[in-house]
Structure 1
Amino acid sequence: MKLRLGVMGADDSLEIIQSVLPDFPEIECLPIVYWKEEDIVDLLLPHVDEVDMWLFSGKVPYALAKATERVQVPMAYVPHIGASLYRTLLHLSHEIGIQVNEVSFDTFSSDELEHFLQEAGIADGYSWLRHYEGAISATELADYHESLWREKKTKAAVTCLRTADLELKKRGVPSYRVLPTRAGVLSVLHMLLRTNEMLHFKDSQIAVQMMEIDPFRELAGGTFSTDEWQNAEIKTMEKLLRYTKYLQGSLKTAGPGRYVIFTTRGRLQEVTHDYKTIPDLEGMFGIRADLVTCGIGIGKTAYEAEIHGGTALLHAKERGTGNWMVFFDDKSVVGPLGRDEQIAYRYSSQQLQEVSRQTSLSVATLSKLDSILKKRGTAMINAHELAQHMQILPRSARRILIELESKGIAEVVGEESPNPRGRPRKVYKITL
């Protein structure tokens, strides 16, 4: 199956990329040329579902595409460092007679440029550099280069952005464009093919969905005969068999009210919309979502996936009936699915293992706390807020904070009064 690759770039960069693609019969290309940065997103969005990956000719179109958060497939761009820059500097010094310290640069970081000049054996360092993160306008870059040139601080500009190059030439500023090299394009294309192989492998990984369902809550009156009990279980199995067929998996029972479905990572990722939502069990299969607690496990083997599924189910049960959690093969936990407030945490952090040894708190609890703080963007939290995020009782949250405070990992930095008559809440600053 061919890799469907969307390729977006300026006209000259796109031409270089397309000249390399015939060497890759396993790649099917969708080329898109842009002339203005403000057009990139509008050109991209109609094709987001048509390709498996995106390749951009440079940092700016890549950053603009990433900022939309609409592209859910892997993206990459061709770097302009290395042979790309060496070719430009060679042309400047040997054919034009302009030295590195007489030129203004853009795009590169200072570390990148310094490292490159050292490797190239260029003794005179650069003097002028406009580094930027993410996207930037052609006008802003052109203004930077032009001002230096008009003040006679530079003799030329070296830019990675096609639109900035065109704008500088229009203003009469000597401008030299750093273009991708065929070798650079080849390297990125090989990386994308390896990534594609890895993703196909991940999609075919074993995934286990471990579910606990309480169908007996639907039985009228709260009392029922063994026949009614058995009928309820049979009906649940029939519904789950339809759901299992939808997952293209296999079903087995694991005790009263507990069921295990074996399927693939790719299929579960698809039906949960990248592990963000819960499938419409009630609408599609007649299974009440509020009766289902679920853990999804991903693993390199069926055994590992089943172990991870059981761990995920325990995390889901901590949060109550109706919750779904996922445990991945990299020891990270995500969930609850379908909730506005999701958290992701890991078991593998050495720092958190060390904190766990110092305290009576488990790595799982500390991982959740770490994830909550990162999501909030602050190290400050009170017990009430922690309880809400972790879905535990406030007194349990207070115990966690007091334990951290006793070991010097948390300190009280203030108090908050939720209302005039309420008891002030201590605000803790946590340093994990």
Structure 2
Amino acid sequence: MKFSIGVIGPPDLVDKTLQFAESFPQYRFLKLRYEDENDTVPLFEKNRGQMDVCLFTGNWPYFKVMNHYGGRDSGIPLVYVCDTSLGIYQALAKMLHDGVDTRRLSIDTATPGEARQCLSDVGLSPDALYFLPVESPMEKSEFVSFHRTLWEEGKTSAAATFLRSAYVELSGCGMPVYRCTPSLGGLKEGLVRAVLELEALKAKASQLVVGLVSTGRVPDPVSPPDDPDGRREEGEEHRASRHRELANGQNSRAKLLKMLLEWAGPLGVSVIPQEGGRFSVFMTRGVLDEVTHGQTAFETAPRISKACGLPVFFGFGVAPTASLSFANATLAINYAIETSQSCAFAVFEDSRVVGPLGPAAESAPSHPLEFTTSTTDPSLVSMSSQSGLSVATISRVQAALRTNGSLFITTEQLATYLSISKRNARRILARLEETGLARVAGLNQAGTRGRPQKIYRVSLS
């Protein structure tokens, strides 16, 4: 299957960009053309599932999509053509050709420094220059109003705009306006950057991931009990019970292996039984992202657990080498087992930990927590030393506070976010309180029986 690059922009710029697509026959290119810039987000959303990388022919549609996601990950890499200088040269050349008064101009998108440098390069020193830098999404009406108001007030004699729809509307008003567009070289450079993003994505997708699967417990081997007092009958009954327990466990683990193989087969995942009732799984980073929906959920663990009648824990490790991946997988499965819920955790090469991954319970956060085990952050190391809690625990509490959207949290909330017992959550908060990193800020009686819950204000910034 070919990887795909989507190119979003007005028809003329999309077609010019894709003149260079024949240089990259190994990829598929999608022409995503709009007549109105406001169609950018719907066009992106409609085709996102068909793209691995998206290239925008200008920064305005790029900012529009970024704003739509509010700074969150859009799911695929986004690249835009940023060839503003040549666009200004192009507009200035047309103005000079048409005999336009270039002493009073308005220009959008480009920074004042870029615009002044371009004017200086062609020997122009305007008496008045007005700028509308675009560093975040703006509406077409803002572009039009900026240029038109200055012109109607007699402050400018012409305008240069990078927004196609603004150019069309201003032209219809009879205003001298010139459209700035990227050069062919700029469009080609943008396409090459999109290809490089795709190459990096391919390399990442083929990275080895080591996984561990465990039921979290290993039964002791069955052996005849000692019978120093001659209580053979009681010993035999106990041994029979242990045999039944072992047989049931073996049947459940056999079913677990069968279901793991059924899950792994279509994905190209390798499953290898290990000693102690564990299983190793091997896959690529691309498959990991697929089965965890981009590290947001993992339905497989609870589904297999329900079918086998055993808790099932997954730990995924990602690192440059197999040995480091295995070490990360071991750390990840320990986090999973600690929750006592069938789920998965993933530990990455940058010490980032994501989890628990699984269908969230009604009381659980809608997204897994993301925290770090790195000891290179001075503030984390300091708070860890001060409280006696590990760096990972401090980082997990920070992640819980971010998810909670507040510095105020109860024991029950912390237990839910970290998927740990209330007792452990209470211990963590007590330790933070003892060392001045948390304090009791109030009590919450609502919805509880008995003593009211303490509300802690936690300061881990």
TM-score, normalised via structure 2 length: 0.79
**Whole-angstrom distance in 2 between the partners of 1:230 and 1:23:** 57
Code of the residue aligned with 1:52 in structure 2: it is: D
From 376, 379, 384, the equivalent of 1:356 is 384
The verdict on how the C-alpha distance between 1:14 and 1:325 changes in structure 2, with shifts beyond 3 A counting, is: same
Task: Determine whether 1:84 maps to 2:110.
Answer: no
Match of 1:386 in 2: 414
Aligned to 1:98: 102
Opposite residue 80 of structure 2, the aligned amino acid is: Y
Measure how far apart 1:3 and its partner are. 4.2
User: Superposed, which structure 2 residues align to 1:13-412 within 5 Å?
Assistant: 13-66=13-66, 67=68, 72-89=75-92, 92=95, 96-99=100-103, 102-108=104-110, 112-114=111-113, 117=116, 127-213=129-215, 224=244, 226-280=246-300, 287-288=307-308, 291-338=311-358, 339=360, 340-348=366-374, 350=377, 351-394=379-422, 396-404=424-432, 409-410=437-438
What is the one-letter code of the residue matched to 2:384? S
Look up the SS of the partner of 2:370 in the other structure.
strand
CA contact (8 A) 1:165 1:177 kept: yes
CA contact (8 A) 2:212 2:279 kept: yes
Distance 1:161 1:417 in 2: 54
Tell me if structure 2 keeps the 8 A contact 1:312–1:325.
yes
Letter in structure 1 aligned against 2:417 = H
Deviation at 1:283, TM superposition (A): 6.6
**3-state SS of the aligned residue for 1:88?**
helix
| 1:295-340 superposed Cα distances (whole Å, 9 cap, x missing partner) | 1111222211111111111111221131211112222111211222
Q: Shift in Å at residue 227 of structure 1?
A: 4.7
CA distance in 2, matches of 1:281, 1:243: 11
Cα distance between partner residues in 2 of 1:389 and 1:283: 21
Range 334-343 or range 64-73, more displaced: 64-73
Q: 2:434 & 2:147 partners in 1: Cα distance? A: 56
Could you say if the C-alpha distance between residues 182 and 303 of structure 1 is closer, same or farther in structure 2, counting changes exceeding 3 Å?
Answer: same
Which secondary structure does the structure 1 equivalent of 2:341 belong to?
coil
Q: Distance in 2 between matches of 1:283 and 1:388?
A: 21
The alpha-carbon distance between structure 1 residues 328 and 287, as it changes in their structure 2 partners (threshold 3 A), is: farther
The residue identity in structure 1 corresponding to 2:414 is L
- In 1: Cα distance, 2:420 partner to 2:100 partner: 70
TM-score between both structures, scaled by the size of structure 1: 0.84
Q: Secondary structure at the match of 2:91?
A: helix
C-alpha distance in 1 between matches for 2:96 and 2:58: 25
Decide which structure has the larger Cα Rg and report it: 2
CA shift, 1:179, in A, is: 0.7
The answer to whether the Cα contact below 8 Å between 1:138 and 1:167 also exists between their aligned partners in 2 is: no
SS of the aligned residue for 1:336 comes to strand
Bigger Cα displacement from structure 2, 359-368 vs 228-237: 228-237
Q: Please give the alpha-carbon distance, in whole angstroms, between the structure 2 residues aligned to 1:173 and 1:273.
A: 50
Gaps of 5+ in 1: none
Tell me the CA shift for residue 356 of structure 1.
Answer: 2.2
Residue identity matched to 1:430:
S
Unaligned runs of 5+ in 2: 220-240, 361-365
Helix, strand or coil at the partner of 1:291: coil
Kept in 1: contact 2:5–2:194 (CA 8 A): no
8 Å CA contact 1:48, 1:70 repeated in 2 = no
The one-letter amino acid of 1:275's match is Q
RMSD over aligned Cα atoms? 3.5
1:4 maps to: 4
- Residues 225 and 125 of structure 1: CA distance in aligned 2, closer, same or farther (over 3 Å): farther
Task: For residue 190 of structure 1, report the CA deviation from its aligned partner.
Answer: 1.9
Distance change >3 Å, CA 24–CA 205, structure 1 → 2: closer
Q: Indicate the SS of the match to 1:180.
A: coil
Distance in 2 separating the partners of 1:391 and 1:3? 38
Could you say which residue in structure 1 is the equivalent of 2:238? none
AA at the equivalent of 1:415: G
| Aligned CA distance change for structure 1 residues 117 and 404 (closer, same or farther; 3 Å) | farther
User: Do the aligned partners of residues 169 and 391 (structure 1) sit closer, same or farther apart at CA in structure 2, a change above 3 Å counting?
Assistant: same
* Structure 1 residues 360 and 128: alpha-carbon distance in aligned structure 2, compared to 1, 3 A threshold: farther
**Which range is displaced more, 393-402 or 303-312?**
393-402
CA distance in 1, matches of 2:46, 2:163: 24
Per-residue deviation, residues 335-379 of structure 1 (Å, max 9, x unmatched)? 211222411112335132333233312111121122223334444
Amino acid at match of 1:328: F
Q: Do the aligned partners of 2:4 and 2:52 also contact (CA within 8 Å) in 1?
A: yes
- What is the aligned length? 424
CA distance in 2, matches of 1:3, 1:287: 36
Write the letter of the residue equivalent to 1:367: S
Question: How many percent of aligned residue pairs carry the same amino acid?
Answer: 28
- Kindly state the Cα deviation for residue 118 of structure 1 after the two structures are TM-superposed: 5.6
Q: Deviations over 1:56-86 (max 9, x none)?
A: 1123323444426896332222124333334
1:281 Cα offset (Å)? 6.3
